[in-house]
């Protein structure tokens, strides 16, 4: 078996092991919770999770964890690494090709305006999908704690309301990006067939003066705000919160 084949096998085995480990650990946690909840329903003073049950359940998953560690070590010894992320951005290739063109053709200009339209459309659709989310989170009625289940119900409804719109919005953005890429690839092809000119170095330096003024303004603002915070008590609030464990915040309960 060649090194490439060995690498593929190791990567495949490790990928499966990682997914398996996460699935098994999740099932273990859910199983412990369900068993514990059933016992707690019968007697409210019984613990849902116990150290003994947790250790025992996790110990049964230990062989897979050890195997995953062993495969990682073996891969490290053999010099096998995950394939590096690499992405050829159509925009960069286009810019590179276009920068060498003397005069853009009409087709190239048409493709460029199509890309602009797609870009605007993508963000407009994303923005449209964000409107229901914005409306939802700015409506106090959605955060009212009126029913028995309280916060959990409110948060469940919040996630159910924002998640589909987020996915649709990001999906629209994604589709427009892909279509724009295709248009860019076409423009790149067109640019390759055009008359070329020697690339001249870009001259202008960025306007660092304006940038420095903005930086100074932000610096002055942040220092002023920190000083105000020291006087209005928000500094002590940070300390008060940080030296106490908020058990719900870290997920303990």
Partner 1 sequence: MDNANKKETTKSMRPTKRRLIQLYAALLYNAHLKGFIEGEIYVGKTKIACVPGFNCYSCPGAVGACPLGALQNSLSASGKTVGFYVFGIIMLYGLILGRTVCGWLCPLGLIQELLHKIPTFKIPKSRITRAFSYLKYVILAVFVIAVPLWYGIKHDMAIPGFCKYICPAGTFEGAMALLANAKNGSYYKMLGILFTRKFVIMLIIGLLCVFFYRGFCRFICPLGAIYGLFSKIAVIGVKVDRSRCTNCGACVRCCGMDVRKVGDHECINCAKCMDVCSAGAISVRAGNITLKAPEKGCADDKPDSPKKRITMERVIWGIALAVLAFALIWFNFLDPAGRKETEETAPVVTGYEEGHQLQDFTIDTIGGGSFTLSEYRGKVVYINLWATYCGPCVQELPYFDEFCKAHSDDVEVLAVHSSVIAKTTPEEFLSDKTYSIKFAADTSDDLVWNIVNGTSAMPQTIVVDRNGIVIYNEHGSISPEVIEALYSKASHG
Buried b / exposed e along 100-132 (16+ C-beta atoms within 10 A): ebeebeeebeebbebbeebbebbeebbeebeee
Rg from Cα positions in the chain: 29
Which part of the chain contacts partner 1 (CB under 8 A), choosing from 29-37, 57-65, 106-114, 189-197? Answer: 29-37
Helix axes 151-192, 106-137, angle to 10 degrees: 180
Taking alpha carbons only, the member of 108, 115, 110, 116 closest to residue 181 is 115
Which part of the chain contacts partner 1 (CB under 8 A), choosing from 59-67, 107-115, 186-194, 245-253? Answer: 245-253
Which of 57, 80, 118, 191 touches partner 1 (CB under 8 A)?
Answer: 80
Which of 9, 30, 38, 70 touches partner 1 (CB under 8 A)?
Answer: 30
CB of 107 to partner 1, least distance (A): 22
> What backbone phi and psi angles, to 5 degrees, belong to 196?
-100, 155
Q: Which of residues 217-236 bind partner 1 (CB under 8 A)?
A: 218-219, 221-230, 232-236
Which of 14, 115, 183, 188 touches partner 1 (CB under 8 A)?
Answer: 14
Q: Which is nearer to partner 1, 139 or 193 (CB)?
A: 139
Which part of the chain contacts partner 1 (CB under 8 A), choosing from 39-47, 59-67, 113-121, 185-193? Answer: 39-47
**Taking CB under 8 A as the rule, does residue 108 contact partner 1?**
no
Which of 89, 128, 164, 196 touches partner 1 (CB under 8 A)?
Answer: 89
Q: Which two tokens stand for residue 136?
A: 């939802």
Q: Which two tokens stand for residue 86?
A: 């690499």
Indicate the SS3 state at residue 12.
helix
The whole-angstrom distance between residue 98's C-alpha and the CA centroid of its chain comes to: 32
Which of 120, 155, 157, 197 touches partner 1 (CB under 8 A)?
Answer: 155
**Taking CB under 8 A as the rule, does residue 50 contact partner 1?**
yes
């Amino acid at each position: 078996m060649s090194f490439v084949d060995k690498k593929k096998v190791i990567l495949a085995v490790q990928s499966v092991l990682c997914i398996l480990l996460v699935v098994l650990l999740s099932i273990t946690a859910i199983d412990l919770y369900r068993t514990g909840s059933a016992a707690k329903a019968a007697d409210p003073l019984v613990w849902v999770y116990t150290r003994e049950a947790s250790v025992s359940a996790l110990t049964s998953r230990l062989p897979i964890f050890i195997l995953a560690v062993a495969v990682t070590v073996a891969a490290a010894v053999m010099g096998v690494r995950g394939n590096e992320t690499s992405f050829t951005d159509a925009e960069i290739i286009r810019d590179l090709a276009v920068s060498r063109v003397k005069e853009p053709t009409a087709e190239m200009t048409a493709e460029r305006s199509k890309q602009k339209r797609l870009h605007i459309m993508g963000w407009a659709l994303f923005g449209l999908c964000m409107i229901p989310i914005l409306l939802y989170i700015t409506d106090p009625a959605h955060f009212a704690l009126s029913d028995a289940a309280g916060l959990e119900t409110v948060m469940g409804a919040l996630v159910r309301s924002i998640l589909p719109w987020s996915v649709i919005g990001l999906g629209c953005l994604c589709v427009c990006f892909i279509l724009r890429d295709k248009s860019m690839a076409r423009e790149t092809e067109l640019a390759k067939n055009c008359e070329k000119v020697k690339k001249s170095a870009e001259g202008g330096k960025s306007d660092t003066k304006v940038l420095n003024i903005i930086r100074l303004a932000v610096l002055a603002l942040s220092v002023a705000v920190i000083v105000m915070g020291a006087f209005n008590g928000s500094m002590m609030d940070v300390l008060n919160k940080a030296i106490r464990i908020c058990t719900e915040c870290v997920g303990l309960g």
